[in-house]
């Protein structure tokens, strides 16, 4: 698509459904086994649950310290 939203007017590559600039050329796209697409783990369910539990523990410790200081 162009910036206007109309389809690209470049000729379609033989045997493909797109032009050479938008995915029809051989070898276009990400390489097989692309290592750049791997997740780093920061937003996995386990990591997020661990951070939530740690924040709750810190909050509880802060409240306990505040109660001790008042006494």
Question: Is 51 contained in some domain?
Answer: yes
pLDDT of 29: 67
Task: Summarize the chain as % helix, strand, coil (round to 5).
Answer: 40, 5, 55
Q: Is residue 56 part of a domain?
A: yes
Verdict on whether the full-model pTM lies above 0.85 = no
What is the distance between the alpha carbons of residues 31 and 13, in angstroms, rounded to a whole number?
20
| Span 6-48, pLDDT tens digits | 888 999 888 888 888 887 777 766 677 777 766 788 888 999 9
Answer whether residue 13 is part of any domain. no
**Alpha-carbon Rg of the chain, whole angstroms?**
27
Considering the domain boundaries, does residue 61 fall inside one? yes
Domain count of the fold of the chain: 1
| pLDDT surpassing 80 at residue 2 | no
Does position 52 have pLDDT exceeding 90, yes or no? yes
> Is 58 within the bounds of a domain?
yes
Containing domain of residue 49, as a range?
41-70
Per the listing, tokens 């600039």 go with 21
Could you tell me if residue 8 is inside a domain? no
């Amino acid at each position: 698509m162009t910036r206007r939203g109309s389809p690209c007017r470049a000729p379609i590559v033989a045997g493909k459904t797109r032009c050479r600039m938008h995915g029809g050329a051989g070898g276009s796209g990400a390489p097989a086994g692309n290592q750049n697409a791997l997740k780093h783990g920061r937003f996995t369910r386990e990591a997020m649950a661990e951070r939530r539990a740690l924040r709750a523990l810190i909050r509880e410790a802060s409240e306990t310290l505040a109660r001790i200081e008042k006494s």
